[in-house]
Structure 1
């Protein structure tokens, strides 16, 4: 079973501290990690940890820092497809500070930069599609970064009746064209933009950290509670949720509320663990809980 993911790949430098420093203050970190990051990237790591094939389409490039992301993803079983391996610019870098007491994080980052080489990326994408059709994915997850790639994949999936899930953490200009091609829009509580239902999205979900996850369809609405847990590290928890949800959709059983409940459980397991990847071993068998 394969899940196809497309979007942002960053290099995350993560420092764990006793307290988040005030302006002008210097503090010594308790630990430091470097890992690949970004919504679609962390979701891909989750899919792979749960036991499915995770193919990530992104732009990493030729800069030496991109090798850090590649090594991390290779170690965690993600099939990384770099659509512009000759891109000379450094990848987006996120500076992350995680507070020891409650796992709360502060992130300074940049999104994927606009590239004059997007034509090359699209050519690479067209070259990859025949390979992807050899083992058709059961779900496509998009985060809206690299918009031309997201639009093309959404149309490709729609033609093949593959469900498309959108990680709508924040409004992006491409959403006006992308939302009509989406089957499920999973928004964060911080999402500020057009209502996906206005674009005909049949399922809209809203996550809100430890609060119940709300869902709306044409047939009704409801909420699924999130397990109570002591958070040790909240970095990427929303991305992990989206990856687990896409995995559940790809399994294609039980239905919407069960998919949400499964994603809630996996995200709760993630926040119990310190560090960007320490949780993967704990969720490795959670996929076996689905029929």
Structure 2
């Protein structure tokens, strides 16, 4: 069992990447062209891969720090306030400037929990790393990057590698910066759709990542077993069945929980089991935040 590298017994996670404002509507069916429909429920919350992972890490009992670029736009104030409410400290690399904060329009189908998202992102962001980034990373037990705000992501990954800190890449989809981030990572957590250019499936993608020197590769497949490859070993971990009502942010929850459990155990299957349990819980509760209240009793000491 790993002990946190920080002085406190509470693990510290630094999450680098995208924060958005999500406007979420639950609907009975997706709207047709030129159709207006009324949602049954709506939510407004901070979103984005790194932000959601940080919220999950904090809910599990960790100290979560999000490094992003928001600026002083009124929408940014909403994002920061929501994240603070859920225990995430935000380091804003764009503080003092006016930027356009990405806003995501999200629909969730009531009968299946499937979500559709239209959003701007920060893949091509030119935001520079904050001056204290090296010190922030030095205090971390785990660092996660999602490939958004690439200049900040690369700097964080390099600082983590220099300190031999666990460094997780959220590989939801291929982004050009991935070719720079992956060689610095200890762990790469991939969606089933993620492909290294020139590879054809999850197995060849995993082989390419392992071949680049990454210690552990994990690939999720929704409700199907999670595959993993680590230091010459491989296997899979079953995902518990749940009644799925809302899949928004489930992958982000998996990543945040995986980062948390990486500070608790060296055993890859145990990390995955904990993360899969958290992601399943996320899918079983409607709304972006209500599910967090169940973590303290259902998952804090899991696995």
Q: Considering the TM-score relative to the shorter chain, is it more than 0.5?
A: yes
**Is residue 2:207 matched to residue 1:202?**
no
2:147 equivalent in structure 1: 144
Task: Give unpaired runs (5+ residues) of structure 2.
Answer: 1-10, 198-204
Local SS of the residue matching 1:289 = coil
Q: 1:22 to 1:191 in 2, by over 3 A?
A: same
TM-score, structure 1 as length reference: 0.93
In structure 1, how many angstroms separate the alpha carbons of the residues matched to 2:162 and 2:299?
28
So what's the TM-score if we normalise by structure 2? 0.89
Question: Which 4+ stretches in 1 moved above 6 angstroms?
Answer: none
1: CA distance, partners of 2:274 / 2:281? 11
- Equivalent-residue separation in structure 1 for 2:112 and 2:123 (angstroms): 32
Pairing partner for 2:296 from 268, 279, 284: 284
Shift of residue 147, structure 1, vs aligned partner: 1.0
**Structural RMSD (CA):** 1.6
User: Which whole-Å deviations, capped at 9, do the CAs of 1:51-108 have from their partners, x for residues lacking one?
Assistant: 1100000011111111111111011010111111123122111100001112111111
- Residue 275 of structure 1 corresponds to 287
Please give the secondary structure, in 2, of the residue aligned with 1:288: coil
TM-fit CA distance, 1:24:
2.1
Aligned residues: 283
Q: Which residue of 2 aligns with 1:72?
A: 82
SS in 1 for 2:263: helix
8 Å contact from structure 2 (residues 125, 150) kept in 1: no
Deviations 1:121-154 (A, max 9, x none): 32x2x32433554xx2111111011111111111
Name the structure 2 match of 1:171.
Answer: 174
Tell me how far 1:286 sits from its aligned partner. 4.4
Matching residue within 232, 250, 262 for 1:219: 232
2:106 equivalent to 1:96:
yes
**3-state SS in 1 of match to 2:132:** helix
Deviation string 1:18-62 (CA, Å, 9 cap, x unpaired) is 111122221101111111111000000000111110000001111
Aligned with 2:152: secondary structure? helix
Corresponding position of 2:245? 232
Q: Name 2:36's counterpart in structure 1.
A: 26
Give CA-to-partner distance per residue, 1:170-199, whole Å, 9 cap, x none: 111111121110111110011122432242
Q: Out of 22-31 and 50-59, give the one that drifted further.
A: 22-31
Mapped contact 1:3–1:250 kept (Cα < 8 A): no
